[in-house]
Amino acid sequence: MRVRSLSRTEAKVVLSLEADEVDELTLEGIQRRARISRGFARKVAHGMVRKGWLQRVGRGRYLLNPARHGADAIADTDPLRLGSRIVTPYYFGFATAAELRGLLPQASRTYYIVTPKRGRAEWTHAARFQRVTIAPRRFFGYGRMVRRGEAIHVSDPERTVLDCLERPEFAGGLGGVVKVLESAGRALDWSRLERYLRRFDSRSLRVRFGYLVETQGSTARPPAGWLDRMRPLPHEPYVPLGAPREFGRRGARDRRWHVIRNVPEGLLRAEVDVR
């Protein structure tokens, strides 16, 4: 196994970073810390990545694999540490947040990073990071979590449930959404959920969520009157429960919620019934 070594210039960069107790840097940071040209900084960065001292987490952005990780050139394999450095601001959302909060069993090698900044999916040797871009006005509903000694941002349970319902493809489908709702049910803050739904300003999301709470969320216990506030007005059109491109537009109509039940019941309960 290749042992990590350092040139004089590389050692200057690493010692400077560890003295300042930081583990992120840019090409400009290498240039400044080593007092070298930008062109030489690129060569230094390339060499340090090859030797296992740095990992690239974005264009011209790197994460230090410090000396405490050992002498062997083994890249950092913690996807949460790597993913939290890809973009700012961010939060881990969808299936990743559900797994971190114990609402879904951990199964996916895809880590969902929600941000108002545009970008694309990224790969490392350990995981795939799927960037999900949302409008700045919708960037809310997350908090700090310490995981393996690393502070990361993760959507709260209420935001996680709504995100998964809005984009079921990032949560294992509608069966995964029902599982998240079932797991989170007793712990949900219904006042917060109502505020979030108002901020989302999506009638489809509101009625589909109300329908699932009433018909599938057996552990969910909203306060009196909460579901009535979610219900559609008599003149409002029907919305399909599942994406029409996947399930079509046909199905029984729920007159209370104005939801078209175009998703097989067995699919909705599949994740919940398997314990």
Q: Where are the domains of the chain?
A: 8-74, 77-155, 158-275
Smallest Cα–Cα separation from 30: which of 73, 67, 63? Answer: 63
Q: Can you tell me the distance from the alpha carbon of 260 to that of 13, in angstroms, rounded to the nearest whole number?
A: 60
Smallest Cα–Cα separation from 62: which of 201, 250, 72, 75? Answer: 75
Q: Can you tell me the distance from the alpha carbon of 221 to that of 187, in angstroms, rounded to the nearest whole number?
A: 9
Backbone dihedral angles phi then psi of residue 23, each to the nearest 5 degrees: -130, 10
Q: Which residues of the chain have pLDDT under 70?
A: 1-3, 67-77, 120-126, 271-275
CATH number for the region 8-74 comes to 1.10.10.10
Kindly tell me the sign of the dihedral angle through the C-alpha atoms of 84, 86, 87, 92: negative
pLDDT at 74: 52
Helix (H, G, I), strand (E, B) or coil at 265: helix
Smallest Cα–Cα separation from 92: which of 105, 77, 79? Answer: 79
DSSP 8-state symbol, 72: B
pLDDT at 92: 97
